Amino acid sequence: MDEQFHSPVIAWFEANARDLPWRREDAGPWGVMVSEFMLQQTPVSRVLPVYEQWLARWPRPADLAKEAPGEAVRAWGRLGYPRRALRLHGAAVAITERHGGDVPAQHAQLLALPGIGEYTAAAVASFAYGQRHAVLDTNVRRVFARSVTGVQYPPNATTAAERKLARALLPADEQTASRWAAASMELGALVCSAKNENCARCPLAAQCAWLAAGKPAHEGPARRGQTYAGTDRQVRGKLLAVLREAVSPVPQSALDRVWDEPVQRARALDGLVSDGLVEPLPDGHYRLPLT
């Protein structure tokens, strides 16, 4: 079964892959790592301009490590989930201190960096260094759920069974495994998408278990929605926007103006402080973190 899957998907990828800056040779391992942090829960179209600006400003981990973590939060802009910016800054500091400023190639060393979990370590090792790892993001999990398991959507959280399947489907050859990881991810992003999947364009249509079963509707637990309006996430975003645009510490009154409901506003601000994204000063002002 494995070869029946690998060859058509990799051939499709060679013909249809998007020309993305982090896939080019000059991106290097640091460019790959930055892209992986930014692309978590964020579409490519929003990441591209921020990614280009980030690499122009901080072409190597040591360049970012020299800056205050608040500058990473500022440059993150409106990508959302800004704790990723702090984690990327922390990883850059660790790379500079432990690895002479070069993103490590070993999976275990990547996993030991702050803010890097199993997915990111596998993705960087695979995409930057051409190694053989199961890279399981939402897109890949959806491709496997449909083509192999015969269900519309994967579980809400990655399961042991999914990891076992991913390892079983992994090509034995390192180079092929690395291409397979990128190709299966691109297939989920462009063709086997969450909504409006294009089965007519899919290289796995002939052997897709879900398509063969008549595309049965999802029967598992309700899928998590991405609500935003009116949430604490929205309030946090508004508060951070004020601080990102300020050149000096901001008074409480400036933050109070961005959201009318005081309890939710205070809760959001407290959360930003406890997450290390905002630094309160003794005089009642706030700023992005310097340390």
Query: Catalytic amino acids?
Result: 36
Q: Rounded to whole angstroms, how far apart are CA atoms 276 and 246?
A: 18
Closest to 141 (Cα-Cα) out of 192, 100, 75: 192
251 CB neighbour count, 10 Å cutoff: 13
63 CB neighbour count, 10 Å cutoff: 15
Q: Rounded to whole angstroms, how far apart are CA atoms 23 and 182?
A: 10
Phi, psi for residue 286 in degrees, rounded to 5: -135, 150
Beta-ladder partners of 280:
286
Buried b (16+ CB within 10 A) or exposed e, 192-221: beeeebeeeebbbbeebebbeeeeeeeeee
HEC profile of 97-140: HHCCCCCCCCHHHHHCCCCCCHHHHHHHHHHHHCCCCCCCCHHH
Annotate 214-241 with DSSP letters as a single string. T-PPP-SSPPPP---TTSHHHHHHHHHH
